[in-house]
Structure 1
Amino acid sequence: MLQLLPFMIEKIGIIVIAAFLLSQMKSFRQIVQGEHKTSEKIKLTILFGTFGIISNYTGIEIHHSTIAHHNWHWLASIGSDNAIANTRVMGVFIGGLIGGPAVGLGSGLIAGLHRYSLGGYTAAACAISTILAGATAGYIGKWRRRKSNKLTPFFTVAVGMTLEAVQMIIILIMAKPFINAWELVKLIGLPMIIGNGFGTLLFVVIIQSVLNDKERTRAFQTNRTFQIAEQTLPFFRQGLNPDSCKEISKIMLLGTDADAVAITDDNKVLSHVGAASDHHTPLEGLATKLTRKVLEQGVIHVARSKKDIHCFRADCPLQAAIVIPLKVHGTTVGSLKMYFTRPDKLTEVQQELAEGLANLFSTQLELAQAEHQTKLLKDAEIRALQAQIHPHFFFNAMNTISALCRTDVERARELLIDLSIFFRSNLQGARQLLIPLEQEIEHVEAYLSLEQARFPNKYQIDWDIEPGLEKVLLPPFSLQPLVENAIHHAFANIKENRKIIISIYTAKESMTIVVEDNGTGINSEKMRVLGEQTVDSQKGTGTAIFNISERLEGIYNGRASLRIQSEVGKGTIITMSIPLEHTEVV
């Protein structure tokens, strides 16, 4: 029995060597790494079915419980009293694990039917066991992927050896006469189970190496993309101009395999760094038809020959290029170009890198534009709002958005919208005496969204709003400063269960707004002056409660009220009452 094992390992080596050689081929890697659409499944079925056929041809022929041939011998047929020991199940099993039930069943049919055609008294049993092994492996692989469990070498080898053992059982059940089948299984059973297990281990290691190469490439590429994006962010904040684009191009040239990097706006080259700088000159017209095409169509174009670039200079060293549009709010405002002096340097990895960078750059341009618009607020308006806005709030919000640009672009966009809502509400409130409740709530929600982005899950905010009050008028900046005060002052030294409840309801002929927190409370000394005068504070201006109280008195002539209840260690309740209708307005 054990004398068969070295011969089995020798035959396994043929399949493993073939798998290793294939793993070095780009086409094989693409098939294995693919999403396994119909065309990929067909290729995988043929590939692993072929492994099974090779195993059949290179098997070890067994005659009456003795090894008939063990040297290199191509088995074109088998005597009716003979059988073969081979690695057929191994390839089919791996195919099923990778490609799923369809690939496992398909490759099992190919290898199984071929084994049946070779003959021998175990032909039918081997054919059926091969088909069964392929289908079973396919469903096991599908089940593991659905549970998000990786196909570890230990698990794969254990299942492979089990299926090989099942083949021995099928031979005992189906092969006739039974005595010959029993003698055969005693001879080949253990060597085939061990040999195929060992071969499966090597095969899985090769396949995992192929898959891990892709993961490593993606991880490296993602890391490199974010590094470049982080380094270029300060320059994109300056917008598209010759100086900023030159620095961006230098960073990209060092961070990628490109031989030249260029950036254009919608009509001229802003920077070109690297090869062909002598005639691809900044601040002149576009040097290539390829760039014009990208700017006009707004889609990516790849050139893999000098002719496709359409440079006006015949001696231009640039042989390949990828040109990607830079967009702001869907409008093409420029292009990013990566040039190569050899077409083979423009690999799929470089193309994916360029596309990823262009998407990030477009987002950075949008954020830079929005940031620029924010900075255009007049100094006088900013000073007029300082009583309501803590100066650090703006910078904290922008820092949060800037950080999210590198990790969660969509969230950064949402926060940028919230920031614009917050400042728009402040500007409108500075010019209006009264605003609808729904506008003040929108202001508060924008503020809370920005705060909670900085401190996720730090505060629990509960809203309880009576329907139908959306259009009731109230002074701007009535609710938001109360919520901001609760967040910044109520929870000193409290690490958990920070809760703020905002309730809005009607009581008699007034709308009542209550902001309640379970914070540290306010001591009696501060309570005596709170709302009657400004209070010194390390955060903000300390005028929020005083300003609200003063405005309520001035607008409603005593018909509105602001009441503060607080107990040290238990929290604070601020209740504001505003008339639903009033006629005496100053």
Structure 2
Amino acid sequence: MLNLFILMLERVGLIILVAYILMNVQHFKTILTKRQLFSTKVQLIIVFSIFAIISNFTGVAISRDQVVSDQLLITLSADASLANTRALTIGVSGFIGGPVVGLSVGVISGIVRYFQGGEAAFIYVISSILIGLFSGIYGARSMRKNSYPKVKEGMIVGAVMESIQMLCILIFGGHFLASLTLVGFIAFPMILINSLGTAIFLSIIDSTLRHEEQTKAVQTHDVLQLANETLPYFRAGMHERSCTEAAKIIMRFIKVSAVSITNQERILAHVGAASDHHIPSNGILTNLSKEVLKSGKIKEAHSHDEIGCDFPGCPLEAAIVIPLRSKGATVGILKMYFTDATKLTFVERQLAEGLGNIFSSQIELGEMELQGKLLQDAEIKSLQAQVNPHFFFNAINTVSALIRVDSEKARSLLIQLSHFFRSNLQGARTNLIPLSKELEQVKAYLSLEQARFPDRYQVNIEVEDGLSEVLVPPFLVQILVENAFKHAFGSRKIDNQIWVDVTKHEQGIQVSVKDNGLGIETERLIKLGKEVVLSEKGTGSALENLNKRLISLFGESGKLQFETSTQGTAVSCTVPYREREE
């Protein structure tokens, strides 16, 4: 029995070694996080079936209570049995992949074992199927929780799985005394070895995935801290001082040999190796950088020649170059250099690409803040059409949150925010703008609000044919829509409808914004458009200032008209028909 225990220990050591190697393959670690997918189950069946077949062929041949062979076994003599680690591999497959994987591996392993022959070989088909089914059912519990059985659980259940095999030998063996003799010889070492092997296998999986999670947590923390520390510099604009400080921070967090940042024409910062000739204020040196500026696509170089630096003795051997974009245009590039080309891996590329998106968003955010400052211009104040600060900060916060989870959507919202502020700035410089421009402003505003409150509001815009070039006061529709968003619906989160209608009228063009909100109290209604009306969500000054502009432009006939009931409110005005001159 001791001899059998040592031989079985060698076999389980082989399986554990293969398992350790497998858990260091990135693809296998990745599929373990997607166990519910059909493709993953197929791959697990293939992997563990190979494990089970190896277990069968590397088993120890036994006749009654004697070890007869410990060599590679393809076939067995008619009176021989096989002690192996098959139950371990089938059990672990069920723990990891659930009933489908466990049962499939059990069937395949049992069939292979049957064709190996030996005494009552059909028993091992039955036991393999039962082990795969029971371990799969047990594993399904942990799959629903997106976890794995604990090591202690694996040890206990592993022993139970091997005990099932011993029980099958006793029940289906035919000659009870002979079966009892066999079980008495192999039961203890096989139950112990398979129990320990299952526990070790699960321990390897648990420690590997835990290490992966810890690594990702550290990387995420570093990236967030990096983004936080570089934010004020990229927001300050693309110039030498800010980019140099940002490059130093990137060097501190990322394991690279050098970091360089350029605009479209020259080097703004270079920190690290090759600083003697990659000098700020110089023109862009490398052909690789010029290609990225032209194409706007990320590129890699894995040799000095691919980088394209003509300076003799330049130590840079690899690089990844990421375009920095703002408003859809490439405004500069971020370059990460390596003096050892083997250091540039897939992980570095993914990290660099993510940082490029973050830094691009930071640059756009800086431009938005610059436009926000322009909104303080006295001319905008005189028109009282500046963006509500709460809306501005809410929009920035929304974009900030999206940068981490959906950088493309965040970029899109930043562009919409850019359009919104540009329209505010342009609108402040003229008394009348085309209706089409005003509606672009409204749509930019809606996209930002819909990002904050998905599906809370439904806005329907209807414009009568031929009116897109009619001149209207800037911010007319936008302020009325914004006012409905803020005040019409209270805390209601569904069925919030707003209708914007622009139609021809006897006296010109009628612009109407109607909602299905809660209505306006009488005492508040008589003050709207005439004086500041305090509320929980604002001062009411926007309607007052809009009304004053309308009256100033068109007289009393142009002032705001209010109609309200418990079914909603309609705010309208009449604008004289006037088209933009070509």
User: Which TM-score applies when normalising by structure 2?
Assistant: 0.74
Could you say what secondary structure the match of 1:336 adopts?
strand
1:215 is displaced (CA, Å) by 3.2
Q: Distance in 2 between matches of 1:39 and 1:464?
A: 44
The residue type paired with residue 119 of structure 2 is: Y
Q: Deviations over 1:401-425 (max 9, x none)?
A: 3454344423423433443454455
Q: Does 1:576 align with 2:558?
A: no
1:449 is displaced (CA, Å) by 4.8
Q: Does 1:405 align with 2:403?
A: yes
1:564 is displaced (CA, Å) by 6.5
Q: Does 1:281 align with 2:279?
A: yes
Could you say what secondary structure the match of 2:279 adopts?
coil
Q: Distance in 2 between matches of 1:464 and 1:31?
A: 50
Q: Distance in 2 between matches of 1:226 and 1:42?
A: 37
1:253 is displaced (CA, Å) by 0.5
Question: Does the CA contact (< 8 Å) of 1:23 and 1:210 recur in 2?
Answer: no
Could you say what secondary structure the match of 2:541 adopts?
coil
The residue type paired with residue 153 of structure 1 is: K
Q: Deviations over 1:145-188 (max 9, x none)?
A: 6x573333377667766654554566567655565346545665
Q: Which residue of 1 aligns with 2:224?
A: 226
Q: Distance in 1 between matches of 2:511 and 2:182?
A: 92
Q: Which residue of 2 aligns with 1:551?
A: 550
The residue type paired with residue 323 of structure 1 is: V
Q: Distance in 1 between matches of 2:324 and 2:460?
A: 45
Q: Which residue of 2 aligns with 1:270?
A: 268
Q: Which residue of 2 aligns with 1:120?
A: 118
Q: Which residue of 2 aligns with 1:33?
A: 30
- The structure 2 residue matched to 1:151, chosen from 139, 148, 153, is 148
Q: Which residue of 1 aligns with 2:541?
A: 542
Question: Does the CA contact (< 8 Å) of 1:391 and 1:540 recur in 2?
Answer: no
The residue type paired with residue 17 of structure 2 is: A
The residue type paired with residue 149 of structure 1 is: N
1:467 is displaced (CA, Å) by 9.2
* 1:3-22 aligned within 5 A: 10-11=9-10, 13-15=12-14, 17-19=16-18, 22=21
Q: Distance in 2 between matches of 1:451 and 1:44?
A: 45
* 1:422-433 aligned within 5 A: 422-423=420-421, 426=424, 427-428=426-427, 431=430
Q: Distance in 2 between matches of 1:498 and 1:113?
A: 59
* 1:4-83 aligned within 5 A: 10-11=9-10, 13-15=12-14, 17-19=16-18, 22=21, 26=24, 28-33=25-30, 48=48, 51-52=51-52, 55-56=55-56, 59-64=59-64, 66=65, 68-69=66-67, 73-74=70-71, 76=73, 78-83=76-81
Q: Distance in 2 between matches of 1:43 and 1:461?
A: 46
Q: Which residue of 2 aligns with 1:241?
A: 239
Q: Which residue of 1 aligns with 2:384?
A: 386
Question: Does the CA contact (< 8 Å) of 1:249 and 1:273 recur in 2?
Answer: yes
User: Which TM-score applies when normalising by structure 1?
Assistant: 0.73
- For residues 254 and 54 of structure 1, do their structure 2 counterparts lie closer, same or farther at Cα, with a shift above 3 Å needed? same
Q: Distance in 1 between matches of 2:560 and 2:368?
A: 39
Q: Which residue of 2 aligns with 1:260?
A: 258
Counting matched residue pairs gives 565
The residue type paired with residue 340 of structure 1 is: F
1:444 is displaced (CA, Å) by 4.9
Q: Distance in 1 between matches of 2:287 and 2:525?
A: 73
The residue type paired with residue 272 of structure 1 is: H
Question: Does the CA contact (< 8 Å) of 2:550 and 2:559 recur in 1?
Answer: no
Q: Distance in 1 between matches of 2:516 and 2:249?
A: 52
Q: Distance in 2 between matches of 1:337 and 1:502?
A: 48
The residue type paired with residue 322 of structure 1 is: I
1:250 is displaced (CA, Å) by 0.4
The residue type paired with residue 180 of structure 1 is: A
Q: Deviations over 1:17-60 (max 9, x none)?
A: 51465268x5x344443589999999977764554455346545
- For residues 12 and 552 of structure 1, do their structure 2 counterparts lie closer, same or farther at Cα, with a shift above 3 Å needed? farther
1:256 is displaced (CA, Å) by 1.0
1:131 is displaced (CA, Å) by 7.3
Could you say what secondary structure the match of 1:361 adopts?
helix
Structure 2: gaps (5+ residues): none
- For residues 407 and 375 of structure 1, do their structure 2 counterparts lie closer, same or farther at Cα, with a shift above 3 Å needed? farther
Could you say what secondary structure the match of 1:272 adopts?
strand
Q: Distance in 2 between matches of 1:497 and 1:297?
A: 45
